[in-house]
Amino acid sequence: MRVKLEVNGVTHEREVEPRTLLVYFLREELGLTGTNVGCDTTSCGACTVLMDGESVKSCTVLAAQADGRSITTIEGLAEGEELHPMQRAFREHHGLQCGYCTPGMVMAAVSLVTESPDLDETHVREGLEGNLCRCTGYHNIVAAVLDAARSSREGAW
Amino acid sequence: MIPASFDYVRPGSLDEAVSALAEHGDEAKLLAGGHSLLPLMKLRLATPSVLVDIGRLGELSYVNDAGDHLAIGALTRHHDLHHDPVAMHHAPLLSFVAGRIGDPQVRHRGTIGGSIAHADPASDLPAAVLALGGTLVARGPGGDREIPADRFFQGFLESALTPEEVLTEIRVPKATAGHAYQKFVRRAQDWAIVGSVVARVDGRVGVALVNVGPTPVRADAVETALAGGASAAEAAELAAEGLEPPADNNATPEFRRHLARVLTARALAEAGL
Amino acid sequence: MSILGNRVLRKEDPKFLTTGGTYVDDLPLEGAAHVVYVRSPMAHARIRSIDTSEAVSAPGVVAVYTGDDVDLEPMPPGAPFANPAMVRPWLAKGVVRFVGDMVAAVVAETREQAVDASELVFVDYEPLAVVIDPEAAVDNETFVHEEAGTNVVFRIPEDFVSVGMAPPEAATEPPGLFEGCDVVVRQRIVNQRVAPCPLEVRAAASLWEGDHLTHWTTTQAPHAVRGSLAQTFGVGEEQVRAIAPDVGGGFGAKIGGYPEELLVPWIARRLDRPARWVETRSESMLSLGHGRAQIQHAELGGTRDGRLIAYKLGVIQDSGAYPGFGAFLPTMTQMMLTGVYDITKVFFTDISVATNTNPTVAYRGAGRPEATAAIERMVDIFAAEIGMDPAEVRRKNMVGNDRFPFTTPTGTTYDVGNYEATLDRVLEAAGYAELRAEQRRRRGAGGPKQLGIGLSSYVEITNGIPGSEFGSVEVLADGRARVRTGTSPHGQGHVTAWSQLVADQLGIAIEDVEVLHGDTDLVPRGVGTFGSKSLQSGGVAVFQAAEQVVDKARKLAADLLEANPNDIELDKTNRRFHVAGTPSASKTWVELAQASGDEGLSAEVDFAAPGPTFPFGSHLVVAEVDTETGGVVLERIVAVDDAGRLINPLIAEGQVHGGLAQGAAQALMEEMCYDDQGNPVTANLADYEFVSAAELPSFETYSMETPTPINPLGAKGIGESGTIGSTPAVQNAVCDALLALGVRHVDMPTSPIRVWRAIEAAKGKK
């Protein structure tokens, strides 16, 4: 079947098998390998991207379901050389180690803060319940998201 | 991680969806948000040969004040239900429960209709609709049919819907007198080990339990005791009556019965009883 | 001013944050065939037949291989002294021995086709009796490996005495071990099997060009992979290029070579085309090595006034179906047996056994967390028995600062420590007295939510495996420096830390240091990243190479400036060498690099530390335990860690954080479970309780820096101590909350059902 998606501002039209998952469409059809696969049970969130601005697990969305939608992946987050405030906060707070969960974690965090910029630590921890990280113990991720949320409230986004 | 091959149909309307189901029968599965079905398909625990994607039928996504009850379109996403002002006002229990499902990404995709039609006893919304005494509306080749929630959940992952029917609307009475959902989990994103839902509706108290049997269940004994004037604590002691809970890695049947009593006591207290 | 000790932001991060890392499955490999392994659904069965005919003719299928097709020498034994009859076949031959054992490899044009066809391989299994319980395995009549005639891999001390690795007197329990003890407490402790769960699962890709193999793999030790491949395929190491691109975590489980990975080049060679493989998480849960898996019988004796005298630990180590490094974990447990305490009389035994389960391997801590968990739990049980504050028992028995280097009764020599200071500091930071007061208040009030306070003081061994690590530094013609390091990172921030080391020595910018790693063509030798060894081995090698480069440059500058080398100073601010007192007579790095000719300005060092180092610390955990549901909320995790000198405290803290989370997860959440027929019941991330942010508090971490004399940086390893310290602290907190209810011990994970059962059992006793 034919699908047409806008990914990071660029429209792509491809012929795919109906069973093609969005994550494989991004990785294999478009070569956007920033989005990772970490599990097969919709648990880990490594594959999180934004669909029409909201976080979704791209391993549990068919490319067919994303037909006509707008997708943002980690590759589309920065404005040229200028890191998104969430990316900057992850760096400044050492919110990543091996980097594997990072793209999904950052996208989930962007969606979380966009929906509710006025959040506290508990809210951040619960809001990231669907994104697993094995390296950081989440401490610095939570600090980064709180910091980015602060900058969002101050109008920096 | 890769589903078995299937044909994909995207009907343009509800009636087209019903026709598609009629055409393909048992071979077809409805796809709404996909967050119950696609995980099973990725592990090849489900291998439908046709997917009928109704995810774009905007006509089925709404929360309407219908006078004495609230009418919720089956394709209303958990995220939307959680944040919907009408739902928050008239059915705060449903709104709250919708916010406890899975994780934010799941709530951005999953729908109330999908969740209820999947009829998973470990799922949150079915028990909430049961406790509220809701009604499910299905569209089939013969038109619309109303099914009381009490008769909807028939077995493990088995509902009263026929293969040709589409769940279109969930109706629940307005209930603002008090509610609670005690969801007991080890990890935030997990299914409930046991959950207890309490809804106060028109002077009646509805109590339903999550993950204590093949279907979500009404805690009849608790409700009857309360109606008969028992205290909340006394009533909660009856929460495990008649249950035959499953055993798994997190709980034995005995532990689930215990949790049903403890969580029901807490839910009743939280609901102001 | 030195840049060492500064919180330098990681150089690695911009890439990870913008395009994502480049992991094996991200690499394009033109024309590669996709490999999917067919795995056994049975824990133990004879293979009557394998029908591959339908799979072979399925769309896109290139080949299907079974055990009889693989014409390689058998895989080398996973562990020295392991019974040779317990060797693992490449693909199962005749018998499968755990759920997940590989029976066939399906190769197809696309990943989808390979997965589809893998469902068409039909295996006729004849079920055999299973061995799942490691205690029962010891004397079982059923054998995982029939040919071995036993499930015992080896026994400590007996089998170590017989090969001369332990003195004869170690063979038997010292007479009168518990003589002089007023109190002896005994406890059976399960240090449960866990799944390491690096977020990136295993993957490999292979390309033969003639007799030259390029192999991409997600590993902690690419040079070891190169060695394994050369041996397996009968080629020279120079014909093999092993590349670890970005690696999404390892935690010990990606040290060894797995048959899944090593077969990919065999398939590529057989098909004369590139081949690639990536597992699913569900496969990974079955077959990436598991960790821990010890059953311990502990006995601790001492006096009523809190002095510990004698300690005995008997371990049964579950090695899984094909014993490898997991069988050896108890040797590390033995090394660290007595922890931070001066206990003079000890006896340790181990029986490592094979079972019909996934093989066990190293996992963050690898044998040391098991030692700490046992002694720290026993100290609490002992303290409860004599009615003394557990902090006090710890304090009374810690090895004093004047005792270092300190040799323990199991023969381990601790370099340097300051144990009591970490205990003091953690108690103060946590507000111990107030916490105990709050605990008493809650106990008095009798509500369902009780407070538990858990302590753990640990010492552990890092860089524990003797050997050297490679590092080189080269100053390029443009004045930048190029580092090659044999310790290949997977999240530990080597690129930044090594840049700091070199920038500090050379007086150049951190940005001007390039660090090459993880490619055996770019780095001639290497050992890898495990056992918290990198900074104190590979880091020191780079540091010393940088020193040598500075010396060479100084001599060259002296020649060029016609001065005595002793009079040449390196002005790190202005990045040039000049004659002392005459700044104008100077040479820059660029000038020197260009003047150095063919020889270049470079140095290589293979640094072999004179011994391991022993980081230490004390952790305190506050847990709220719901005595009605058994639920536990971790309210606080306070950690004081001393890993010697810190080069980058930001990175060091990150290591501690990750360790704390993994340790807390083992204590509270995670267990890889098999049912009694050997079916895994936690075989994906929905069922396996991989901890998330929502179950953890923010951590309160404090560092102390007691430099080690073992290496010139004064640095110890920090990768595993968080896990080692936090696991018993969390378990002790849960048990502590229940102490007043009459509960003595709850095994890990301290899950709701275990907590509830323990409370019910205690009620029954009353």
3-state secondary structure C636-667: EEEEEEECECCCCHHHHHHHHHHHHHHHHHHH
CA-atom Rg of chain A in angstroms: 15
| Residue located via tokens 């390892």 | C250
Q: Which among A21, A40, A42 has the least Cβ separation from residue B106?
A: A42
Which token pair is C622?
């506050």
Residues 6+ apart with CB under 8 A from C537: C463, C468, C469, C487, C527, C607, C609
- What CA–CA distance (Å, rounded) separates B98 from B144? 26
CATH assignment of C464-608, among 2.30.40.10, 3.30.365.10, 3.40.50.300, 3.90.1150.10 = 3.30.365.10
How distant is the Cα of A82 from the closest Cα of chain B, in angstroms? 27
- What CA–CA distance (Å, rounded) separates C554 from C570? 8
Q: If we measure between CA atoms, which residue out of C187, C359, C230 comes closest to residue C743?
A: C187
Which token pair is A23?
């994550």
pTM of the predicted model as reported, rounded to 2 decimal places: 0.97
Q: Give the N- to C-terminal CA distance of chain B in Å, as an integer.
A: 47
pLDDT band at A24 (very low <50, low <70, confident <90, very high): very high
Q: Over 90: is that where the pLDDT of C96 sits?
A: yes
Does B179-270 carry CATH code 3.30.390.50? yes
- Judging contacts by C-beta atoms under 8 Å, the chain A residues touching residue B55 are 65
pLDDT band at C275 (very low <50, low <70, confident <90, very high): very high
Chain mean position to CA C207: 30
Residues 6+ apart with CB under 8 A from C136: none
Q: Which domains does chain A have, with CATH numbers?
A: 2-76 (3.10.20.30), 85-153 (1.10.150.120)
Q: Over 80: is that where the pLDDT of C76 sits?
A: no
- Are the C-beta atoms of residues C253 and C196 closer than 8 Å to each other? yes
Q: Where are the domains of chain B?
A: 7-53, 59-173, 179-270
Q: Which among B5, B34, B102 has the least Cβ separation from residue A61?
A: B34
Partner-chain contact B2 A37, CB within 8 Å: no
- Judging contacts by C-beta atoms under 8 Å, the chain B residues touching residue A56 are 105, 108-109
Q: Give the N- to C-terminal CA distance of chain C in Å, as an integer.
A: 66
**Chain B CA closest to residue C448:** B262
Q: What is the mean pLDDT of residues C244-266?
A: 95
How would you list the strands of the sheet with B143-148, edge to edge? B63-66, B69-73, B166-173, B135-140, B143-148
Give, in order, the Cα–Cα distances in Å from C501 to each of C154, C483, C541, C646, C696. 43, 10, 10, 11, 34
Residues 6+ apart with CB under 8 A from B272: B177, B178, B200
Helix axes C368-386 and C721-738, enclosed angle (nearest 10): 30
Q: Over 80: is that where the pLDDT of C357 sits?
A: yes
- Write the pLDDT tens digit of every residue in C709-744: 999 999 999 999 999 999 999 999 999 999 999 999
Cis, bond preceding C167 (omega within 30 deg of 0) = no
State the fold for domain C291-462+612-765. Aldehyde Oxidoreductase; domain 4 (3.30.365)
Partner-chain contact B188 C756, CB within 8 Å: no
Task: Tell me which DSSP letter residue B57 carries.
Answer: -
Partner-chain contact A97 C492, CB within 8 Å: yes
- What CA–CA distance (Å, rounded) separates B31 from C363? 41
| Residue located via tokens 């900057």 | A88
- Are the C-beta atoms of residues C504 and C2 closer than 8 Å to each other? yes
**Chain A CA closest to residue C688:** A43
Which token pair is C628?
């009605």
**Chain B CA closest to residue A48:** B105
ipTM: 0.98
Instruction: Enter the CATH code of domain B59-173.
Output: 3.30.465.10
pLDDT of residue C583: 85
Q: Over 90: is that where the pLDDT of C766 sits?
A: no
- Judging contacts by C-beta atoms under 8 Å, the chain A residues touching residue C661 are 136-139
Instruction: Give the neighbours of chain A: at least 3 Cβ pairs within 8 Å.
Output: B, C
Q: B interface toward C at CB cutoff 8 Å?
A: 1-2, 4-5, 39, 43-44, 184, 186-190, 193, 248-252, 255, 258-259, 262-263
pLDDT band at C372 (very low <50, low <70, confident <90, very high): very high
Q: Among positive and negative, which fits the CA dihedral C715, C717, C719, C722?
A: negative
**Chain A CA closest to residue B103:** A130
Give, in order, the Cα–Cα distances in Å from B66 to each of A124, B234, C13. 36, 36, 53
**Chain B CA closest to residue C684:** B43
Helix axes C222-233 and C259-271, enclosed angle (nearest 10): 50
Cis, bond preceding C14 (omega within 30 deg of 0) = no
Q: If we measure between CA atoms, which residue out of A139, A73, A129 comes closest to residue A106?
A: A73
A104 touches chain B (CB under 8 A): no
How distant is the Cα of B257 from the closest Cα of chain C, in angstroms? 11
Q: Where are the domains of chain C?
A: 291-462+612-765, 464-608
State the fold for domain B7-53. 3.30.43
pLDDT of residue C170: 78
What DSSP assignment string belongs to C597-628? GGG-EEEEEEEE-SS-B--EEEEEEEEEEETT
Enclosing H/E stretch for A50: strand A48-51
Which token pair is C122?
């039909």
Q: What is the mean pLDDT of residues A111-135?
A: 97
pLDDT, one tens digit for every residue, chain B (273 residues): 999 999 999 999 999 999 999 999 889 999 999 999 999 999 999 999 999 999 999 999 999 999 999 999 999 999 999 999 999 999 999 999 999 999 999 999 999 999 999 999 999 999 999 999 999 999 999 999 999 999 999 999 999 999 999 999 999 999 889 999 999 999 988 999 999 999 999 889 999 999 999 999 999 999 999 999 999 999 999 999 999 999 999 999 999 999 999 999 999 999 999
- Write the pLDDT tens digit of every residue in C114-143: 999 999 999 999 999 999 999 999 999 999
Instruction: Give the neighbours of chain B: at least 3 Cβ pairs within 8 Å.
Output: A, C
- Are the C-beta atoms of residues B208 and B130 closer than 8 Å to each other? yes
Partner-chain contact B8 A61, CB within 8 Å: no
Which token pair is A119?
């959040």
Q: Over 90: is that where the pLDDT of C598 sits?
A: no
Tell me the sheet residues that pair with C457.
Answer: C618
Q: Over 80: is that where the pLDDT of C80 sits?
A: no
Partner-chain contact A134 C492, CB within 8 Å: no
CA-atom Rg of chain C in angstroms: 27
- What CA–CA distance (Å, rounded) separates C312 from A22? 56
Q: Is residue B43 left, alpha or beta, with left meaning phi > 0 and alpha meaning psi from -120 to 50? A: alpha
C694 touches chain B (CB under 8 A): yes
How distant is the Cα of B188 from the closest Cα of chain C, in angstroms? 6
Identical fold at B59-173 and B179-270? no
Partner-chain contact B5 A54, CB within 8 Å: no
Q: Over 90: is that where the pLDDT of A5 sits?
A: yes
- Judging contacts by C-beta atoms under 8 Å, the chain C residues touching residue A129 are 692-694
Residues 6+ apart with CB under 8 A from C482: C473, C474, C476, C513, C514, C516
- What CA–CA distance (Å, rounded) separates C666 from C668? 6
pLDDT of residue C77: 67
A46 touches chain B (CB under 8 A): no
Q: Tell me how many degrees the CA angle B147-B151-B153 measures, rounded to the nearest 5.
A: 105
How distant is the Cα of B77 from the closest Cα of chain A, in angstroms? 12
pLDDT band at C597 (very low <50, low <70, confident <90, very high): confident
Phi, psi of C539 (to 5 degrees): -65, -45
- Are the C-beta atoms of residues C302 and C182 closer than 8 Å to each other? yes
Return the amino acid letter for C658: G
Average pLDDT score over chain C:
96
pLDDT band at C1 (very low <50, low <70, confident <90, very high): low
Partner A, chain C 344-373, Cβ-Cβ below 8 Å: none
